[in-house]
Amino acid sequence: MSFIQENPQVSFIVIVAIALAASPFLQRLIGRVAFRIAIRTETVIDDLIVDALRPFRFVYAIPTALAYFLADWLAPYAYEVRVLSGLVSIFLAVETALKVMSALASIIRHRSGAKGVSSTGYIDILKILTVLVGIVAAGSVVVDTDLITLIGGVGAATAVLGLIFKDSLHSIFASIKIASWNLIREGDWLVVPSFGADGTVEHIGLYDIKVRNWDLTTVLVPTHSVLEVANANYTSMQDTRARRLFETFSFDVGSVRVCDRALLERLQGVPLISDIVAEKIEALGDSDEPGTDARLAPVITTNFEIFCAYVDRYLRSREDIHQKRHYIMIRTTAPTHHGIPMEIFAFLREVSLVPFSKIQTDIFNHLLAMIGVFDLRLHQSLAKE
């Protein structure tokens, strides 16, 4: 103790230097222990926490805290040391707090799955408040004043500045939300109908988002407005390599009829549905006109029903359509004055516009050609002259 009292400056340097030199070893030790614990446990929660806290820079708070509280030992430079060590300590504290909140958000998303993820928005608000508190704390260290007193003064000034810079603050919070939720990134295909935007995001600024439309025109969408109006981001479609194919065919009600033996025998030559048609023929027995035999009512089928089965099997036979990752569905809705609608849902593996359009055209051309084979007709509205 006498040596410290007689040589406070040397003691300060030695203590801080030892703590600073030991920090990297302590950092690696904590990392190894944390990774071993995370690997040995079956739960994913500790994995998320360890991943968020890497590279465990919070251990450097030990030498910075020592430097802050022992700054008086370095009497000629006490203020400078206290400011520098205080700012570094605040930075490490804020960074660690943000990482813990990110880990908490990851845990919420993991536990909730596809539901309840919106609750992580409150964590984003806490992050903003943490950064603001860190800024105020840094200001109190620099001006060497009490934190509570500084917060009171800043609160009064914030109310006035909030009215003056309302639009700027609105844009700042919108930018933070877009970045924290990863809503929009440069290169995304973004559609904002109210602003005439439909193209690739070239730049995301504080006040506006620049979109290069497919017709090579440029649109600037206010950053805060993109969160307030209807918009669509096709990034997930491109990332999952799946683009939805959806179309509706409307059939003439008058062309739908019960299949007789002649039609079934003709359709038996279609490979994709030959087994289905064979079962229908076997169920008919000796009857040629099943529609006139009440006993065959449970087994009669229509050409429209068999065509729907053909469309389903045709789509499932194509390699350029996702068969397992996404659903394939053929749905018939209630008849309208436009005929009987048949809706086709599928997801193509191609997401680029030109290849997707070519495959879509091939599918529709094939189905249009096969409609006549089943003695069906599409509904066409004739305009009155």
pLDDT given at position 215: 87
Mean pLDDT on 345-367: 89
Please give the single-letter amino acid code of residue 281.
I
Residue-level pLDDT at 9: 62
pLDDT over threshold 70, residue 282:
yes
The proportion of the chain whose per-residue pLDDT surpasses 90, expressed as a percent, equals 11
What's the pLDDT tens digit per position in 198-217? Answer: 888 888 777 788 899 988 89
Query: According to the model, what pLDDT value does residue 383 have?
Result: 47
Q: Where are the domains of the chain?
A: 2-164, 184-232, 239-374
pLDDT tens, position by position, 46-69: 666 666 666 777 677 777 777 766
In sequence order, the β-bridge partners of residue 340 are 251
User: What residues contact 172, with CB distance under 8 A and at least 6 apart?
Assistant: 206
Of 301 and 329, the one with more pLDDT = 329
pTM beyond cutoff 0.95: no
90: confidence class by pLDDT, cuts 50, 70, 90: confident
> Contact, 332 vs 252, CB < 8 A?
no
**Average pLDDT of every residue of the chain:** 76
Say if residues 191 and 176 touch (Cβ distance below 8 Å).
no
State the architecture of 184-232 in CATH terms: Roll (2.30)
Residue 379 confidence (pLDDT): 86
3-state secondary structure string across the chain: CHHHHHCHHHHHHHHHHHHHHHHHHHHHHHHHHHHHHHHHCCCCHHHHHHHHHCCCHHHHHHHHHHHHHCHHHCHHHHHHHHHHHHHHHHHHHHHHHHHHHHHHHHHHHHHHCCCCHHHHHHHHHHHHHHHHHHHHHHHHHHHCCCHHHHHHHHHHHHHHHHHHCHHHHHHHHHHHHHHHHCCCCCCCEEEEHHHCEEEEEEEECCCEEEEEECCCCEEEEECCHHHCCCCEECHHHHHHCCEEEEEEEEECHHHCCECCHHHHHHHCCCHHHHHHHHHHHHHHCCCCCHHHCHHHCCCCCEHHHHHHHHHHHHHHCCCCECCCCCCCEEEECCCECCEEEEEEEEEECCCCHHHHHHHHHHHHHHHHHHHHHHCCCECCCCCCC
Given a cut of 80, is residue 103 above it in pLDDT?
Answer: no
- Per-residue pLDDT of 221-271, as tens digits, reads 888 888 888 888 887 777 678 888 888 999 988 888 888 888 888 888 888
pLDDT tens, residue by residue, 311-328:
999 999 988 889 887 888
Q: 115: pLDDT confidence band, cut at 50, 70 and 90?
A: very low
Q: Averaged over 76-103, what is the pLDDT?
A: 74
Strand 340-348's sheet: what is its strand order?
243-251, 340-348, 329-332
Q: What is the pLDDT of residues 25-47, one digit of tens each?
A: 776 776 677 677 767 766 666 66
Q: Given this model, what pLDDT does residue 311 score?
A: 92
Q: Tens digits of per-residue pLDDT, 167-189?
A: 666 777 777 777 767 778 878 88
